Amino acid sequence: MAELNTGDGGGGKGGKVRSKKQNSKVDLTAMVDLAFLLITFFMLTTTLSKPQSMSLGLPDKDDNPELNKEQKVDENRTMTILLGENNKLIRYVGFVTKPIEGGAPKDFAYGKDGIRKELLDRKEKVFQYTGNKDKGMIVIIKPSKKSKYRNLVDILDEMAIVGVPTYAIVNDFTPEETKLLGGDANTVPTATTVPNP
Amino acid sequence: MAKIKMTKKSTSTDMTAMCDVAFLLLTFFILTATAKVPEALPVDTPQSTVSTKLPDKDLATLTIGKEKVFFDLKGKKVRIRTLELMSEKYGVEFSDEDKDKFGKMEGFGVPIQSLKQIIDLNPADRNKAVQPGIPKDSLDNQLADWIRNARVATAEERDADLQIAIKGDANEQYPTIRKVMDILQDQKINTFSLVTGLRKQ
């Protein structure tokens, strides 16, 4: 197999030259190391390069108004999340004009310390209110025209993390909601939660 | 007292077999790995913690960035059939050679009238060419036709449902994404995937 003939060919002299017996084995350890390193690399890159994806199901859209009936839901179970420009996020619980206690429109930040805490908290409250596992929280996501795709994916991700049973993307804005998002558009959003006055 | 002679054992093992196996595996992985194809429209996908993988067949990817939409479809046969259906509808002729080239191409973002010019370019120049995106307004909704014909072609060739993935740029304005979602929903496609990167937590 891996043998090297390293015997010197300089035996031109008359006398019998005894060539020194050399070790013919080559140390393959380094080569094996390298090979396994490359294997690991190729294995990991082939499986990891496949893009992640998030599946999204939207409700049936029908232009026929008879089929498009308005559904009445309990206001105590619904949280509406408005996505504005510059990563602005406002949530309220119940109606925008008549929010339920503790659910007045309020700014939140994206991520672990922002909206996720609120979602978990509200989910628990809704569960206590209904006492029924099948009647969980309903979240209505309203991305405004100025919001970014990133905002939508972020909030959908929060839904998956928190485990909100029912959520929907709605594109209709009421005048009050537009005012909420546009009212203080000049203020620079901060990373921390800004309480609404 | 007789001295017990310890037999000196060699500490080095024969690595030859191990080396063989390692290189065999290495060759296998190199050959099976597919090289990453450069994208026609590079986008920065948003991140999420969801870790479902995309399917690798019967998939159409709509890449959205800079208000342009690019279309990509997996599977050579399906692509060729889709192109045939599209050329029938829009009355644009493609030769067999064009169809074959289209089958091997990556995503594109041109109106069908100028698709031939993109096909004629060699692969290296294709991504350099400025592609205006597939028309998607209500007057000339080619995107909807591409999706519809791709679904027909997938059903014919592979007897399967076509999955749709939206690969949007994180900084894309929501109305553009909504427009594409509306086009999908008009065809009663209510379930699709959003391509995201992995968020490190």
Per DSSP, the residues of A105-143 read -EE--SSTTTHHHHHHHHHHHHHHHH--TTS--EEEEEE
Residue A60 sits at the chain B interface (C-beta within 8 Å) = yes
User: Please, what are the domains in chain A?
Assistant: 78-183 (3.30.420.270)
CB B105 within 8 A of CB B131: no
How far does B72 lie from chain A, in Å, by closest CA? Answer: 15
Strand partners, B73: B60
Query: A54–B26: do the CB atoms touch at under 8 Å?
Result: no
The structure tokens listed for B4 are 């017990």
Tell me which H or E stretch contains B60: strand B59-65
Residues 6 or more apart in contact with residue A196 via CB below 8 angstroms:
A104, A105, A106, A107
pLDDT at B26: 87
pLDDT exceeds 80 at position B17: yes
Provide, as residue numbers in chain B, all residues whose Cβ is less than 8 Å from the Cβ of A85. none
Identify from A40, A54, A81 which residue to disrupt to test chain B contact, counting B C-beta atoms within 10 A and taking the largest count.
A54
Query: B33–A38: do the CB atoms touch at under 8 Å?
Result: no
In a domain, B69, yes or no: yes
pLDDT at B1: 61
The structure tokens listed for A28 are 């393959």
CA B126/CA A57 separation, integer angstroms = 34
In a domain, B33, yes or no: no
Provide, as residue numbers in chain A, all residues whose Cβ is less than 8 Å from the Cβ of B51. 52
In a domain, B161, yes or no: yes
Strand order in the sheet with A166-169: A106-107, A89-93, A78-83, A138-143, A166-169
**If we measure between CA atoms, which residue out of A158, A111, A112 comes closest to residue A139?**
A158
- Which of A69-78, B118-127, B174-183 has the weakest average pLDDT? A69-78
B 120-159 residues with CB < 8 A to A:
none
Residues 6 or more apart in contact with residue A88 via CB below 8 angstroms:
A107, A181, A189
pLDDT exceeds 50 at position B81: yes
In a domain, B61, yes or no: yes
Residue A152 sits at the chain B interface (C-beta within 8 Å) = yes
pLDDT at B55: 78
pLDDT at A11: 46
Convert the pLDDT of each residue in B137-163 to its tens digit. 877 888 888 888 888 888 888 888 888
CB A39 within 8 A of CB B177: no
CA A136/CA A126 separation, integer angstroms = 6
Which residues of chain A are under the pLDDT cut of 70?
A: 1-16, 47-50, 61-72, 183-197
Tell me which H or E stretch contains B22: helix B16-32
Give chain B's domain count: 1
Q: Residue B64's closest chain A neighbor by CA?
A: A149
Phi, psi of A74 (to 5 degrees): -65, 125
Strand partners, B168: B64
pLDDT at A189: 40
**If we measure between CA atoms, which residue out of A78, A109, A97 comes closest to residue A179?**
A97
Identify from B11, B18, B19, B199 which residue to disrupt to test chain A contact, counting A C-beta atoms within 10 A and taking the largest count.
B19
Provide, as residue numbers in chain B, all residues whose Cβ is less than 8 Å from the Cβ of A53. 50, 52-54, 165, 193-196
Query: B15–A143: do the CB atoms touch at under 8 Å?
Result: no
In a domain, B8, yes or no: no
Domain that holds residue B187: 47-198
Convert the pLDDT of each residue in B161-174 to its tens digit. 888 888 888 888 88
Provide, as residue numbers in chain B, all residues whose Cβ is less than 8 Å from the Cβ of A67. none
In a domain, B23, yes or no: no
In a domain, B41, yes or no: no
Whole-number CA gyration radius for chain B: 25
CB B186 within 8 A of CB B144: yes
CB A157 within 8 A of CB B50: yes
Query: B15–A28: do the CB atoms touch at under 8 Å?
Result: yes
Q: Residue B175's closest chain A neighbor by CA?
A: A145
pLDDT exceeds 80 at position B23: yes
Convert the pLDDT of each residue in A127-178 to its tens digit. 887 777 777 788 888 888 888 888 888 888 888 888 888 888 887 777 777 7
**Residue B86, exposed/middle/buried by CB under 10 A (0-12, 13-18, 19+)?**
buried
**If we measure between CA atoms, which residue out of B173, B179, B114 comes closest to residue B143?**
B179
pLDDT at B65: 82
Polymer length in residues for chain B: 201
pLDDT at A67: 53
Query: B52–A52: do the CB atoms touch at under 8 Å?
Result: yes
Convert the pLDDT of each residue in B29-64 to its tens digit. 888 776 666 667 777 878 778 777 777 778 888 888
In a domain, B126, yes or no: yes
pLDDT at A83: 83
CB A135 within 8 A of CB A75: no
CA A144/CA A88 separation, integer angstroms = 10
Tell me which H or E stretch contains A14: none
pLDDT at A5: 53
- Of the partner residues A35, A49, A50, the one whose CB lies closest to the CB of residue B26: A35
Render B104-121 in DSSP notation, one character per residue.
Answer: H---B-S-GGGHHHHHHS
Side-chain half-sphere exposure of B5, counting CA atoms within 13 A = 2
Total-model pTM:
0.70
pLDDT band of B94, cuts 50, 70, 90: confident
Residue B191 sits at the chain A interface (C-beta within 8 Å) = yes
Residue A52 sits at the chain B interface (C-beta within 8 Å) = yes
